[in-house]
């Protein structure tokens, strides 16, 4: 079978690629394992030098990579350039910090010497999504490779060009042949790779159903998984918030990547006292964002990645309206080619509507009224998801307190939720488990090994009889 790269702005096929056979995929895993046997013994300084080179290549090619992302999944150019820059940052972060993060930790016991060592596991399979086709991969690959592992990538089938470019850039940086391989395979072949005896662990970023499937398959063969899944991030706006700043931040977060982000703001829970004023500012800013060709300068919102995704999003909007939501902006499928959907705002959103209960993966915002702070926290936590959350207030201490009450892996006060190489990132509940980034992320795919050294007892010489 062929894997096709389709431009979502036009619906035209860019290029087709031959899918790997199961035998070719298995051979790539074996090659990665062979590379790992040498790579795991490579000093941290040598690994860091190659990772810095990988960062330099990303910066050199950022314009080209941004265009590739725009063509394959519709990301506006300026956002694609920023994504490539962030990938370079995570490479540089782990080049600088991996050795210290994985240094043996001495533990005092009754042994002569005892400590915890952190050793690479081997080949890690990454199953990655299309929405951040570089960043999602590099935030796994940079720590995994710096820890001494090898990686194989099963990327989303609509971004094969990005997947191959990542493999090419690691090779260009000088990593051992096969240390990072891209598998051009469909989803139906993932289980066989998970079950391959040389694959030691699996990481997945994607939908909750995809995570449930991969976790079950990996669990059946006793392999560790890290899952970063969907989200319906709540942004709580309290009555003492700076409404202009809050509205600007909320709109920017809702529309990042044309709304196609697990940690994009999705549910805006506003205390009733300021709901009308916030809503007016929010709608004005949503309306001002420019929808258009992702290759054009000034475009804020490009097409969704596929037409079926756009159509599914529209169904969620229509179902919410049928159940009593009020349409304040957008909500209509535009005519013409491409998978475009306009910035859309729904008000009067309540439980039982898709806009309240489900993840809306596109430029659709749900405004939900809360009576007070306590009610806002209750609504924010009334979800199966727990990836990110934010709160807006001019009282920093209050914001921190509320942030601690929000059930999410990442909480922000007066800012948009974002991943940062220096901080752990991941979710709870149906948003997954495990952590990426920071010192916690690099330790996910290592053997946390106890080493206990006891001094050997000396033999006592017996006197020789005269």
Q: Are residues 224 and 359 in the same domain?
A: no
Q: Are residues 190 and 339 in the same domain?
A: no
> CA-CA distance, 20 to 279, in Å (whole number)?
50
The share of the chain scoring above pLDDT 90, in percent, equals: 97
DSSP per position, 57-74: HHHHTHHHHHHHHHHHH-
Catalytic positions, written as ranges: 228, 262
CATH of the domain at 84: 3.40.605.10
- What distances in angstroms separate CA 236 from CA 99, 108, 343, one per listed residue? 39, 46, 20
Q: Are residues 186 and 267 in the same domain?
A: no
Q: What is the pLDDT of residue 1?
A: 77
pLDDT(19) > 80: yes
Q: Are residues 145 and 287 in the same domain?
A: no
* Cross-strand pairs, 413: 391
Range of the domain at 134: 2-229+427-452
pLDDT band at 463, cuts 50/70/90? low
Number of domains the chain is built from: 2
Q: Are residues 291 and 161 in the same domain?
A: no
> Does 461 reside within a domain?
no
Q: What is the pLDDT of residue 225?
A: 98
Q: What is the DSSP letter of 370?
A: E
Torsion angles phi and psi, residue 377, rounded to 5: -65, -40
> Does 108 reside within a domain?
yes
pLDDT tens by residue, 70-96: 999 999 999 999 999 999 999 999 999
> CA-CA distance, 343 to 332, in Å (whole number)?
10
pLDDT(465) > 60: no
Average pLDDT estimate for 382-391: 98
Q: What is the pLDDT of residue 307?
A: 96
Q: What is the pLDDT of residue 460?
A: 58
CB 217 within 8 Å of CB 195: yes
> CA-CA distance, 453 to 379, in Å (whole number)?
53
Spell out the alpha helix ranges (H) of 265-351. Answer: 272-288, 307-322
Q: Are residues 225 and 247 in the same domain?
A: no
CATH of the domain at 285: 3.40.309.10
Q: Are residues 221 and 356 in the same domain?
A: no
Token pair recorded at residue 57: 């290549």
> CA-CA distance, 343 to 364, in Å (whole number)?
6
Q: Are residues 395 and 368 in the same domain?
A: yes
Axis-axis angle for helices 62-73, 160-173 (nearest 10): 160
CB 152 within 8 Å of CB 166: no
Contacts of 348 (CB under 8 A, 6+ apart): 324, 325, 326, 367, 369
Coil vs helix vs strand at 154: strand
pLDDT tens by residue, 254-307: 999 999 999 999 999 999 999 999 999 999 999 999 999 999 999 999 999 999
CA dihedral 37, 41, 46, 47 (to 10 degrees): 60
Q: Are residues 193 and 51 in the same domain?
A: yes
Q: What is the pLDDT of residue 138?
A: 98
pLDDT tens by residue, 96-134: 999 999 999 999 999 999 999 999 999 999 999 999 999
Average pLDDT estimate for 18-32: 98
Q: Are residues 208 and 63 in the same domain?
A: yes
Contacts of 460 (CB under 8 A, 6+ apart): none
> CA-CA distance, 79 to 102, in Å (whole number)?
33
| Residue among 420, 418, 422, 410 nearest 101 (CA) | 422
Q: What is the pLDDT of residue 459?
A: 60
Q: Are residues 58 and 202 in the same domain?
A: yes
> CA-CA distance, 304 to 332, in Å (whole number)?
14
pLDDT(187) > 80: yes
Token pair recorded at residue 297: 């300068």
Largest distance between two CA atoms of the chain? 111
> Does 465 reside within a domain?
no
Q: Are residues 29 and 72 in the same domain?
A: yes
CB 399 within 8 Å of CB 236: no
> CA-CA distance, 363 to 331, in Å (whole number)?
10
Spell out the alpha helix ranges (H) of 147-238. Answer: 160-173, 190-195, 208-220
Q: What is the average pLDDT value for the chain, to the nearest integer?
A: 97
pLDDT(462) > 90: no
Q: Higher confidence at residue 462 or residue 455?
A: 455
Token pair recorded at residue 131: 């929405």
């Amino acid at each position: 079978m062929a894997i096709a790269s389709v431009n979502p702005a036009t619906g035209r096929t860019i290029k087709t690629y031959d899918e790997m056979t199961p035998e070719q995929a298995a051979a790539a895993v074996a090659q990665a394992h062979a590379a790992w046997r040498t790579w795991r013994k490579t000093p941290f300084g040598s690994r860091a030098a190659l990772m810095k080179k990988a960062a330099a290549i990303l910066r050199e090619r950022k314009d080209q990579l941004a265009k590739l992302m725009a063509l394959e999944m519709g990301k506006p150019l300026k956002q694609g350039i920023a994504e490539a820059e962030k990938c370079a940052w995570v490479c540089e972060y782990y080049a600088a910090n991996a050795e210290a993060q994985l240094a043996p930790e001495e533990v005092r016991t009754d042994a002569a010497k005892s400590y915890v060592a952190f050793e690479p596991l081997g080949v890690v399979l990454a199953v990655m999504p299309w929405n951040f086709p570089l960043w999602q991969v590099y935030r796994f690959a940079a720590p995994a490779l710096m820890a001494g592992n090898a990686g194989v990538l099963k990327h989303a089938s609509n971004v094969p060009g990005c997947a191959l470019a990542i493999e090419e850039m690691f090779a260009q940086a000088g990593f051992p042949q096969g240390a990072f391989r891209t598998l051009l395979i469909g989803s139906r072949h993932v289980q066989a790779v998970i079950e391959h005896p040389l694959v030691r662990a699996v990481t997945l970023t994607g939908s909750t159903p995809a995570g449930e499937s991969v976790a079950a398959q990996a669990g059946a063969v006793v392999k560790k998984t890290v899952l970063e899944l969907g989200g319906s991030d709540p942004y709580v706006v309290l009555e003492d918030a700076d409404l202009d700043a809050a509205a600007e931040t909320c709109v920017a977060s809702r529309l990042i990547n044309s709304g196609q982000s697990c940690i994009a703001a999705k549910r805006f829970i506003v205390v009733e006292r300021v709901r009308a004023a916030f809503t007016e500012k929010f709608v004005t800013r949503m309306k001002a964002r420019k929808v258009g060709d992702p290759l054009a300068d000034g475009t804020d919102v490009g097409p969704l990645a596929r037409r079926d995704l756009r159509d599914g999003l529209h169904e969620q909007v229509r179902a919410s309206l049928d159940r009593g939501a009020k349409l304040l902006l957008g909500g209509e499928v535009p005519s013409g080619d491409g998978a475009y959907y306009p910035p859309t705002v729904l008000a009067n959103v309540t439980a039982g509507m898709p806009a309240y209960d489900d993840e809306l993966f596109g430029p659709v915002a749900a405004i939900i009224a809360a009576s007070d702070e306590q009610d806002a926290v209750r609504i924010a936590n009334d979800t199966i998801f727990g990836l990110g959350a934010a709160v807006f207030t001019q009282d920093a201490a209050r914001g921190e307190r509320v942030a601690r009450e929000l059930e999410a892996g990442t909480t922000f006060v007066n800012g948009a939720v974002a991943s940062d190489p220096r901080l752990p990132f991941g979710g709870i509940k149906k948003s997954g488990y495990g952590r990426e980034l920071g010192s916690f992320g690099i330790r996910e795919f290592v053997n946390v090994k106890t080493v206990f050294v006891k001094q050997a007892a000396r033999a006592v010489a017996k006197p020789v009889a005269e």
